[in-house]
A and B are shown apart, each in its own frame.
Chain A
Amino acid sequence: DVKVTQSSRYLVKRTGEKVFLECVQDMDHENMFWYRQDPGLGLRLIYFSYDVKMKEKGDIPEGYSVSREKKERFSLILESASTNQTSMYLCASSSQGQLTDTQYFGPGTRLTVL
């Protein structure tokens, strides 16, 4: 069974803190993605990676960075959390090469920045 896990379901942090969101997949997928979801805005792409140590900016990368040191793990970093980063964060992974390759999602992390 396919599995994408995220380190926390709920997280509360203070403004200015450094925040790490971890995502791990066990499907040997090449591609990994970070999205944020806000009411009325749908899902928006923050960063994605198609290989270890590779990263590409998505639509809203400002205020975020990522790290992919191992194939199975993709971390999203908020260098200095702000209240406008309060959101639901979803990680996904997919294999590479086919148009039909489905993205599989983790359960999401609801982050609140106070």
Chain B
Amino acid sequence: AQKITQTQPGMFVQEKEAVTLDCTYDTSDQSYGLFWYKQPSSGEMIFLIYQGSYDEQNATEGRYSLNFQKARKSANLVISASQLGDSAMYFCAMTLGGTGNTPLVFGKGTRLSVIA
């Protein structure tokens, strides 16, 4: 069965510093996608970044980048130049290849707090 592990329940980072949120995954499939979502206190899940298992380059979206290490089965999220508005829960998730019907499997999340 597929599994996502986020080992950091909570993280603190100083404003303007970079922070890495850890994510490891477990699947025997060769084709899969990895996602990161942000959930502010309002509750809505906001898509941040995607990495495909066959992508050779690490994904980047503005201040977000994904450190993808396939052999180690890790997909860590790096947030550069942290802002106060980055304080939120962050979820790593995975979907499997094929028709695209497979639902996301989520980790338990990491709560990030940005300190001024």
Q: Which residues does A use to contact B, with CB under 8 Å?
A: 9, 31, 33, 35, 40-45, 48, 50, 58, 88, 90, 92, 94-108, 110
How far apart are the CA atoms of A16 and B9 in the complex, in Å? 35
Residue of B nearest to A96 (CB): B100
Residue in B33, B44, B46, B107 whose CB lies within 8 Å of A100: B33
* Nearest chain A CB to B108 CB, angstrom units: 4
- A105 contacts B45, C-beta separation under 8 Å: yes
Residue numbers in A under 8 Å from B103 (CB-CB): 33, 45, 48, 58
Total number of B residues with any Cβ neighbor in A under 8 Å: 26
* Chain B residues near A58 (CB-CB < 8 A): 103
Residues from chain A with a CB closer than 8 A to the CB of B31 are 99
B residues adjacent to A (C-beta < 8 A): 31-33, 35, 37, 42-47, 50, 52, 91, 93, 95, 97, 99-101, 103-104, 106-109
Separation of A99 and B53 alpha carbons in the complex (Å): 10
Q: Are A108 and B99 in contact (CB under 8 A)?
A: no
A50 to chain B, nearest CB (A): 5
Residue of A nearest to B33 (CB): A99
Q: A42-B91, A102-B50 are in contact. Are A96 and B99 (CB under 8 A)?
A: yes
Chain B hits for A102, CB < 8 A: 35, 47, 50
The interface residues of chain A lying within 8 Å CB-to-CB of B52 are 99-100
Residue pair A88, B43 in contact (C-beta under 8 Å): yes
Chain A residues within an 8 Å CB radius of B47: 102-104
Complex Cα distance, B109 from A88, in Å, reads 15
Q: Beyond the given A31-B101, A42-B109, could you list 10 further A-B residue pairs with CB under 8 A, ordered by the A residue number? A: A31-B100, A42-B91, A42-B107, A95-B100, A97-B99, A102-B47, A105-B37, A107-B42, A108-B44, A108-B45
